[in-house]
Amino acid sequence: MKRRKILINTIKKKEAVQKVNWTAFYFVVPLKFTILGVHMTTRTKVRFKEVTSQQNVLFPTNLSDRIPETHPVRIVNQVVDQLNIDDILAGYKGGGTSSYHPRVMIKILFYSYFNNEYSSRKIEQKLHENIYYMWLSGNSTPNFRTINDFRGKRLKDKIHYLFAEMVKIMAELGYVSLNKQYVDGTKIEASSNKYTFVWKGSVQKYKDKLETRINAIIENIEEAIKSDNQTENTETKPIVNSEELSKRISKLNKHLDSLNKRERKQVEKLDKEHLPKLQKYEKQLKIMGERNSYSKTDTDATFMRMKDDHMKNGQLKAAYNIQISTENQFITNFSLHQRPGDTATLIPHLSQFKQFYNKQSKEVIADAGYGSEQNYEHAQENEIEAYYKYNYFHKEQKRKYKNNPFLPTNLFYNKQQDFYVCPMGQKMFCIKKTTRTSKLGYESNVHIYQAQNCKGCPMRGQCHKGKGNRRIEINHRMLAFRKKAKDLLMNPKGIEHRSKRPIEPEAVFGQIKFDNQFTRFKLRGLEKVNIEFGLVAISHNLRKLAAILQGLSPANLSQLALFPVLIHFWVKIVIRNRKIKIENQIPNFKFLFEQGLTKMVA
Ligand code: SF4
C-alpha cells in the first residue's frame, strides 16, 4: 500500500507540473503494469518539437547554411559564374526600369532545366517556394513572362555561344578532348498537334487545279472583251502567280461594262475567291521550302516518322531532327534540322563544331545513316578519320554475302582494262558513264557495265531477272570510300569506337528523353526550339559534372585524376570571383577540394 501511495504521489506531482506548464503541448498514453498483484495504469508524457513558424526571429537564417556544400545548385552557380556573358550584356540598351541580371536569369534557367522543370510558370512558383531557387537567384522573383522573354528573346542567337563556353570549361577540366565526336540523331516532337499537317503534294495538286480553272475563266472573259471591242485576236497568256492574277483582274475590272452578268460574276469570283486561295497556296509552298510538309501550329516543324509509334500505324508527327556529338557522354555539339534524314545533317553539324571551337575533331564516329559519298568526301577534304558505317557493312561480314558470286561487289574487276568478269567468265565492259543526282543535289559518277550475251546461260535465274543481258551500275569512288571506311572500322581502334558508339550518343538520348522526360518541345519555331534544346544540352552536361563531383572518391583511380582538375577549377574560380567580386561563393569548391584531399590523405 505504501508503494502504491508513493506511485500515486509521483503521478500527482507530474500532473501538477503539467498544470503549471501551460505552454507545453502534449497528450498522455495509458500504460498498464502490475505491482504486488495489483493492476495499475499510469500515463507517460509525449514531447513534440517546438513549432516556431509564428515566432519572430532576432537573426534571419542564412539560406546558404541550409544548402549542402556538394549540392548541384552550387555547381550550377559556380559554372554560370565562369561563363562569359558579355554578348548578352551588350544586348541591354539601358534606361527604363531595372532588369534582373542576366547571370541570375541564366542560373535560374540552367537549374530549372537541370531539374526537368521546363514551364516558366512552374519556374516562377519554384522561385517563391524552393530554397535552392531562392539561394541561387538571391531571392529574385522574376515572373513567368520575364523568364519566358529572357529565354525566347535574350538567349536568341546566344545559346550556342553559352553552350560552347560551357563545353570549353569541360575541356579545360579534362572531361572532353574535342578530338573525337560520336554523332547521332533523334527526333523530338514539336509543340503541335498531329492533325495540323500541310502536305506539299496536296498543296501543289490543288494549286495546279485552281490555276487551270483561273486560266479557263480568264481566257473566256478576255475572248468576250476582244470580240466586243473587235480588237485583234491575240493569244491569252496563262497566269503564273497571284501577283499576275491581281494585275489581270484589275485590267478586267476596267471592261466590266462590256461583260454580261455571268461574266461579271466570274470576275468577282476571281477577285474574292480564287485570288486569296492562290495566295494561300503560294504562301504555304513558300513556308514549306524544300520540305514535304509542315505543321500549321509550328510552321518550322516537319512531319516525320517517330520511333515511338504506340498505335503501330506509322503515323507521322510534327518534329525536329536533333543531331548531337558526344564525348564521354558530355554533349559537345548540337544542331537542329528540319529534314528527317540524317545523311544531309552531318556536314552542317560538323561545320558548326568547327565554328564553335576553331578546330575540327580528328575522329568522327557515326552509324550507317551517315555513310554517303558526300559525307566521305567531306571527311577526306577536312582530314577527318571517318568511322562512318555504310549500308551493307554488317551484311558484308556474313558468309552468305561473301559467298554469293553474283553480287557486283564480288565480281572480279580488271582495273587496267576496266571490265568485270561474270560468274560464267564473260567480260562485262563499260557501256556508259553517267551521273546520278541525289535528293540533296550531290552528283555521283556512275559506270554502267554490261555482259555481252546472257542468252541460254544456265545461271541466269540466279544471276539476274532482267530481260536482256545483265547490267551493273558501279560507283568506283564510293567503292573506294567504302573500302577505306571498312579498313578503319575493322581495325582495333575502329572496333573500340563501334562498341562505344551505342553507349555514347544513344545513352545520352536515353537520359534526356526517358530519365528526364524531355520528349516534346514547349516552345515553337526553329529559333526558340534551338534555345530550348541548348538549355537541355547544357543541363545534361551540368548533371554529368555534378554526378562526377558528388561521387568523388579516392577509391577510384579515374576519380583521383579529378583532384588536379579541381585545383585548376578552384583557382580559376578564385581569380574570376575576385574580378567580379562574388566572394561568398568561393568556399564551395574549396570545400570540395579540401574534402577530396582529406579523403586522399586518409
Ligand atoms: S546471266 Fe549473263 S552475266 Fe549472269 S552469269 Fe550468265 S552470262 Fe554471266
Distance CA 103, CA 376 (A): 42
Helix (H) or strand (E) holding 509: helix 505-510
Question: What ligand 1 atom has the least distance to the C-alpha of 457?
Answer: 6
Question: What ligand 1 atom has the least distance to the C-alpha of 458?
Answer: 6
Which residue type does 543 have? Answer: R
Distance CA 24, CA 284 (A): 75
In short, whether 462's Cβ falls inside 6 Å of ligand 1 is no
pTM, two decimals, is: 0.78
Question: What ligand 1 atom has the least distance to the C-alpha of 469?
Answer: 2
- Amino acid 76: pLDDT: 92
The proportion of the chain whose per-residue pLDDT surpasses 90, expressed as a percent, equals 49
Output the residue whose Cα is nearest ligand 1's atom 2. Answer: 454
In short, whether 508's Cβ falls inside 6 Å of ligand 1 is no
Where is mean pLDDT largest: 35-39, 145-149, 568-572?
145-149
Question: What ligand 1 atom has the least distance to the C-alpha of 463?
Answer: 4
475 pLDDT exceeds 80? Answer: yes
In short, whether 459's Cβ falls inside 6 Å of ligand 1 is yes
In short, whether 463's Cβ falls inside 6 Å of ligand 1 is yes
Which residue type does 229 have? Answer: N
In short, whether 457's Cβ falls inside 6 Å of ligand 1 is yes
Tell me the backbone φ, ψ of residue 117, rounded to 5 degrees.
-105, 105
Q: What is the mean pLDDT of residues 586-591?
A: 43
Give me the chain's average pLDDT, please.
84
In short, whether 449's Cβ falls inside 6 Å of ligand 1 is no
Which of the listed residues 407, 419, 448, 457 should we mutate to test ligand 1's pocket, taking the one with most ligand atoms within 8 A of CB? 457
Cell of 29: 498514453
Provide the phi-psi class of 164: left if phi over 0, else alpha when psi is between -120 and 50, else beta: alpha
In short, whether 472's Cβ falls inside 6 Å of ligand 1 is no
Cβ proximity of 376 and 388 under 8 Å: yes
Output the residue whose Cα is nearest ligand 1's atom 1. Answer: 460
CA of 471 to the centre of ligand 1 (A): 10
CA of 450 to the centre of ligand 1 (A): 10
561 pLDDT exceeds 50? Answer: no
Q: Which ranges of 230-260 would DSSP assign to H, the alpha helix? A: 242-253
Q: Which ranges of 230-371 would DSSP assign to H, the alpha helix? A: 242-253, 261-269, 275-288, 346-357
Q: What is the mean pLDDT of residues 144-173?
A: 91
Output the residue whose Cα is nearest ligand 1's atom 7. Answer: 454
Tell me the backbone φ, ψ of residue 83, rounded to 5 degrees.
-75, 140
The pLDDT confidence band at residue 584, using thresholds 50, 70 and 90, is very low
Q: Identify the residue with better confidence: 259 or 271.
A: 271
Q: What is the pLDDT of residues 46-68, one digit of tens each?
A: 888 888 777 887 777 788 888 98
Which of the listed residues 462, 463, 465, 472 should we mutate to test ligand 1's pocket, taking the one with most ligand atoms within 8 A of CB? 463
Cβ proximity of 575 and 582 under 8 Å: no
- Amino acid 232: pLDDT: 57
Q: What is the pLDDT of residues 515-537, one digit of tens each?
A: 888 999 989 999 999 999 999 99
Cβ proximity of 103 and 85 under 8 Å: yes
CA of 477 to the centre of ligand 1 (A): 25
Cβ proximity of 266 and 222 under 8 Å: no
In short, whether 424's Cβ falls inside 6 Å of ligand 1 is yes
Domain boundaries, the chain: 2-45, 71-178+522-601, 198-295
Which of the listed residues 410, 454, 471, 472 should we mutate to test ligand 1's pocket, taking the one with most ligand atoms within 8 A of CB? 454
The pLDDT confidence band at residue 12, using thresholds 50, 70 and 90, is low
CA of 470 to the centre of ligand 1 (A): 7
274 three-class SS? helix
- Amino acid 9: pLDDT: 66
CA of 502 to the centre of ligand 1 (A): 42
Which residue type does 173 have? Answer: L
Question: What ligand 1 atom has the least distance to the C-alpha of 454?
Answer: 2
Residues 6 or more apart from 225 whose CB is under 8 A from it?
A: 231, 252, 255, 258, 259
- Amino acid 235: pLDDT: 62
Which of the listed residues 426, 449, 472 should we mutate to test ligand 1's pocket, taking the one with most ligand atoms within 8 A of CB? 426
b vs e for 491-520, b when ≥16 Cβ sit within 10 Å of the residue's Cβ? eeebeebbeebeebbeebbeebbeebebee
The pLDDT confidence band at residue 93, using thresholds 50, 70 and 90, is confident
Q: How far is CA 221 from the centre of its chain?
A: 55
505-512 — which CB contacts under 8 Å span 24+ positions? Answer: 505/182, 505/183, 505/184, 505/324, 505/325, 505/326, 506/184, 507/329, 508/324, 508/326, 508/329, 508/331, 508/540, 509/184, 509/186, 509/324, 511/540, 511/543, 512/536, 512/540
- Amino acid 229: pLDDT: 67
CA of 459 to the centre of ligand 1 (A): 6
449 pLDDT exceeds 90? Answer: yes
Tell me the backbone φ, ψ of residue 459, rounded to 5 degrees.
-95, 5
Question: What ligand 1 atom has the least distance to the C-alpha of 451?
Answer: 3
583 pLDDT exceeds 90? Answer: no
Of 31, 34, 54, the closest CA to residue 43 belongs to 31
Distance CA 489, CA 367 (A): 11
C-alpha torsion 582→588→590→593, nearest 10: -150
Q: What are the Cα distances from residue 72, in Å, to 105, 142, 172, 418, 554?
A: 17, 22, 20, 65, 20
In short, whether 422's Cβ falls inside 6 Å of ligand 1 is yes
Q: How far is CA 568 from the centre of its chain?
A: 31
Q: Identify the residue with better confidence: 231 or 576.
A: 231
C-alpha torsion 500→506→507→508, nearest 10: 120
